[in-house]
Amino acid sequence: MDNTTKLNVIFGDVTLGVSGPGFHYIFAYDRGGLESLVQDGKEWLYRTPMPALWRATTDNDRGNGFSTKSAQWLGADLFSSCDHISVAIDGQSIPLPIAPENNRYSDHETATTVAVTFTYTTPTTPATTIAVTYTVAASGAMTVAVHYAGKADLPELPALGLRLVMPTPALGFAYQG
């Protein structure tokens, strides 16, 4: 297969870079997510995307006590921490490629797909996890999946999503789910 139909993969000390014609993405292990999303020379991220677990409360929420009962989700929205990262190249899991493990790779690595999963632990009682998986195809298309591992003893979850803070307004986007 010609290298133009594959992703270029750059294994940094604390980052994983994925690039191809017209795009470049950087996943930062120390920030717990996607740090840079460049399409056609334009940066689309202002901050690392994080799980969104809270929303503005309504009069109905305040009236039925939802705001108080589910208040720990506000703390989880602000203080969840990324405590596990996994990387798969062409569907095969690899050890987290941080220094010195990343030194085994050349600066000419390629792949058809790259998947990076960041798993966050919530400071709720009981604690639970949220996994965010970014899968990049050779075309540059990125699929993002968010998986919440619910627990029976937790209060009702106000919202579940991924907070994307962009430097400029987007003209459109596609959402499925």
> What's the confidence (pLDDT) of residue 36?
98
Percent of the chain with pLDDT over 90: 88
User: How far apart (Å, rounded) are the C-alpha atoms in residues 7 and 23?
Assistant: 10
Alpha helices (H) along the chain: 59-64, 66-69, 72-79
Averaged pLDDT for residues 50-78: 95
pLDDT at 177: 66
* Domain assignment of residue 175, yes or no: no
177 assigned to some structural domain: no
User: Token digits for 78?
Assistant: 């602000």
Residue 174 counted as domain residue? no
Residue 1: pLDDT band (50, 70, 90) is very low
User: Within a domain: residue 140?
Assistant: yes
Is 156:148 a contact under the CB 8 Å cutoff? no
pLDDT tens digit sequence for 73-129: 999 999 999 999 999 999 999 999 999 999 999 989 999 999 999 999 999 999 999
Residue 174's pLDDT is 76
Q: Please say whether the dihedral angle defined by the alpha carbons of residues 47, 49, 51 and 54, taken in this order, is positive or negative.
A: positive
- Structural domain contains residue 10: yes
Q: How many domains does the chain have?
A: 1
Give the range of the structural domain holding residue 94, as residue numbers without chain letter. 3-163
Give CA angle at 18 (13, 21), nearest 5°. 145
pLDDT tens-digit readout, 7-45: 999 999 999 999 999 999 999 999 999 999 999 999 999
11, with CB counted inside 10 A (0-12, 13-18, 19+), is: buried
In this prediction, residue 49 carries a pLDDT of: 97
- The pTM (predicted TM-score) of the whole model is 0.92
Residue 170 lies in a domain: no
Contact predicate 129/149, CB 8 Å: yes
CA distance 174 to 128: 28
pLDDT at 106: 93
Query: In whole angstroms, how far apart are CA 26 and each of 31, 135, 171, 173?
Result: 11, 13, 23, 20
- Which CATH number covers residue 9? 2.70.98.10
**Residue listed under structure tokens 């305040």:** 62
Flag whether 172 is in a domain.
Answer: no
pLDDT in tens, 157-174: 999 999 999 888 878 777
Tell me what pLDDT residue 64 has.
95
Q: What is the pLDDT of residue 122?
A: 98
Residue 168, domain member (yes or no)? no
Predicted local confidence at residue 170, as pLDDT = 76
Total residues belonging to the chain: 177
The answer, yes or no, to whether residue 4 has pLDDT greater than 70, is no
Could you tell me if 158 and 58 are in contact, meaning their C-beta atoms sit under 8 angstroms apart?
A: no
